[in-house]
């Protein structure tokens, strides 16, 4: 007998029939004698629909009210799923975040979980009941409803698994695991049986949408055994794990991530003197624009430098305008940029112990005449910025260069 936390995403509970299928799956696990806590998202599309409604009311909707609104999506699914379970004679009880007491801070729309009351859930489990918990929501000390940021149900599930010391946390979704890259871009993408927390965290941060970043961080920190599986297909999915050493032959690269939401800005011909980077980036940061890759190069003649950095595409126009306004104060010759670029990254703990991975990557891209505009690296990843027209070609080229179509995990 084991204790499992199962999380079902929006597409898995998107219709009445799907909710009934989910209920049957939960009942089968319960009938084997397992203790089950279920976390659900809102039915697919529902949270977006609610966001849109709010936008009719206020340009920047009040965040406290936004949370009251957004939390309703999950409240619908917990009730429907509990009914579906009861209809199968599987005793169940639904809980909102406030009822369990998933205590969070008061940063509305992006709250952090502080503490979880497990008494309620434990007593249900002991009575053989399935506890059905609303994902994505919590409550402040003062009793205000909060939400955890988009995709936050993953974090609810992992946090519950940590608090309850569950044997495993299963994230059921519309794909049957974590893939070497997005199969829509590279049809030869392979499902990974295992991936390390570190790699999964990079994948999530670099654009893979399978799991919410915070959920992976949380799972890594509390050592929650996390598995991504399909809601409706059989299979063991992908286990996200710590044991890097026990994998005798760690592949060089485990996956390729990409992000289409990139834009780059270059401040050209600025005087190369102390403080210039901070002068350029301070107004950007003051406007809450996040900067990702940064590169500064010095022109060989004269004493001028070019300073380039990337931002989210949504922030591109704003960032460009801010710097254009400051151009003279910065002493810059020109501010230019492009929002037609994408970031492609290779990720793998295996590259830690191998030299030459970067060379292999750059050579492969060069052979396809793909110009690299910016590079950034860490111990387990290499990211390049390329024109968006090369996205598919770059991903497929790297996928075959690193033999990910033949990966065995």
> What's the rounded Cα separation, in Å, for the pair 409 and 388?
31
Q: Does 97 bind ligand ASP (CB under 6 A)?
A: no
For residue 7, the minimal CB distance to ligand ASP (Å) is: 8
Give the interface segment with Mg ion, choosing from 87-95, 143-151, 263-271, 392-400 (CB under 5 A): 143-151
Q: Tokens standing for 303?
A: 């004493």
Position among 77, 153, 190, 306 found at the interface with ligand ASP (CB under 6 A): 153
Q: Candidates 28-36, 144-152, 189-197, 248-256 — which segment interacts with ligand ASP by CB under 6 A?
A: 144-152
Select the span of 78-86, 121-129, 148-156, 192-200 touching ligand ASP (CB under 6 A).
148-156
The residue (of 9 and 348) whose beta carbon lies closer to Mg ion is 9
Nearer to Mg ion, 177 or 350 (CB): 177
Partner from ligand ASP, Mg ion, none contacting 237, C-beta within 5 to 8 A by type: none
Which span sits near ligand ASP by CB under 6 A: 145-153, 191-199, 252-260, 307-315? 145-153
**135 binds Mg ion per the rule CB under 5 A:** no
Residue pair 272/305 in contact by the 8 Å Cβ criterion? yes
Are residues 324 and 335 in contact, defined by beta-carbon separation less than 8 angstroms?
A: yes
DSSP secondary structure, 103-121, as one string: EE-S-TTS--EEEE--HHH
What are the counts of helices (DSSP H) followed by strands (DSSP E) for the chain? Answer: 12, 18
Residue 121, both tokens = 């859930």
190 binds ligand ASP (CB under 6 A): no
Per CB under 5 A, does 9 bind Mg ion? Answer: yes
Residues 6+ apart with CB under 8 A from 307: 266, 267, 270, 276, 277, 280, 294, 295, 296
In the bound complex, what is the minimum distance in angstroms from residue 8's beta carbon to Mg ion? 10
Which partner in Mg ion, ligand ASP, none is near 42 (CB below 5 to 8 A by kind)? ligand ASP
CB of 11 to ligand ASP, least distance (A): 9
Cβ-based neighbour number of residue 347 at 10 Å: 29
Of 138, 152, 269, 348, which lies in the binding site for ligand ASP, with binding defined by CB under 6 A? Answer: 152
When the beta carbons of 47 and 241 are compared against ligand ASP, the nearer one is: 47
Nearer to ligand ASP, 42 or 394 (CB): 42
What part of residues 145-174 is at the interface with Mg ion (CB under 5 A)?
151
The sign of the torsion formed by the CA atoms of 242, 245, 249, 253 equals positive
135: contact with ligand ASP by CB under 6 A: yes
d(CA 164, CA 121): 9
Which listed option, ligand ASP, Mg ion, none, makes contact with residue 207 (CB within 5 to 8 Å by class)?
A: none
Using the rule CB under 6 A, is 151 a contact of ligand ASP? yes
Shortest distance, position 213 Cβ to ligand ASP, whole Å? 12
Count of beta carbons in the 10 Å neighbourhood of residue 26: 24
135 binds, among Mg ion, ligand ASP, none (CB under 5 to 8 A by kind): ligand ASP
Which helix (H) or strand (E) is 343 found in, with range?
Answer: strand 334-347
Among 5, 23, 42, 201, binds ligand ASP (CB under 6 A): 42
Q: CA 327, CA 268: separation in Å to the nearest integer?
A: 10
Residue 92 CB burial class (10 angstroms; 0-12, 13-18, ≥19): buried
Handedness of CA 215, 7, 196, 168 (dihedral sign): positive
Are 306 and 296 within 8 A, CB to CB?
Answer: yes
**Integer CA distances (angstroms), 214 to 19, 150, 187, in order:** 26, 11, 28
CB-CB contact of 108 with 147 (8 Å)? yes
Residue 309 near ligand ASP by CB under 6 A: no
Which residues would be at the binding site for Mg ion (CB under 5 A)? Answer: 9, 151
Which residues would be at the binding site for ligand ASP (CB under 6 A)? Answer: 9-10, 41-42, 47, 73, 135-136, 150-154
């Amino acid at each position: 007998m084991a204790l499992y936390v199962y999380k079902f995403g929006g597409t898995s509970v998107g219709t009445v029939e799907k909710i009934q299928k989910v209920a049957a799956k939960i009942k089968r696990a319960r009938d084997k004698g397992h203790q089950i806590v279920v976390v659900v998202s809102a039915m697919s599309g529902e949270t977006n629909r609610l966001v849109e409604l709010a936008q009719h009311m206020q340009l920047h909707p009040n965040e406290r009210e936004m949370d009251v609104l957004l939390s309703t999506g999950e409240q619908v699914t917990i009730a429907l799923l509990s009914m579906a379970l009861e209809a199968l004679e599987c005793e169940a009880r639904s809980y909102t975040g406030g009822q369990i007491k998933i205590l969070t801070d008061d940063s509305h729309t992006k709250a952090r979980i502080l503490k979880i009351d497990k008494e309620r859930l434990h007593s249900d489990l002991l009575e053989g009941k399935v506890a059905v918990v609303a994902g994505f929501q919590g409550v402040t000390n003062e009793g205000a409803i909060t939400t955890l940021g988009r995709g936050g149900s993953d974090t609810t599930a992992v946090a519950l698994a940590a608090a309850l010391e569950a044997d495993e946390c299963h994230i059921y979704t519309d794909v049957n695991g974590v893939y070497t890259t997005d199969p829509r871009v590279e049809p030869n993408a392979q499902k990974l049986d295992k991936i390390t927390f570190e790699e999964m965290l990079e994948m999530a941060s670099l654009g893979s949408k399978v799991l919410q970043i915070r959920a992976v961080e949380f799972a890594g920190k509390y050592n929650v055994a996390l598995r991504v599986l399909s809601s409706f297909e059989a299979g063991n999915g992908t286990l996200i794990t710590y044991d890097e050493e026990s994998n005798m032959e760690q592949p060089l690269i485990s996956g390729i991530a990409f992000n289409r939401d990139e834009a780059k800005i270059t401040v050209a011909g600025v005087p190369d003197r102390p403080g210039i980077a901070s002068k350029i980036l301070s107004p950007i940061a003051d406007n809450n624009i996040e900067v990702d890759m940064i590169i500064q190069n010095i022109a060989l003649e004269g004493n001028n430098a070019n300073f380039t950095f990337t931002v989210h595409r949504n922030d591109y126009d704003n960032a460009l305008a801010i710097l254009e306004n400051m151009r003279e104060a910065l002493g810059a010759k020109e501010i230019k940029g492009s929002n037609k670029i994408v970031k492609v990254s290779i990720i793998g703990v295996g590259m830690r112990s191998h030299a030459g991975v970067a060379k292999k990557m750059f050579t492969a891209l060069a052979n396809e005449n793909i110009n690299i505009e910016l590079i950034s690296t860490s111990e387990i990843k290499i990211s390049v910025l390329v024109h968006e027209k090369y996205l598919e070609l770059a991903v497929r080229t790297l996928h075959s260069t690193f033999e990910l179509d033949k990966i065995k995990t």
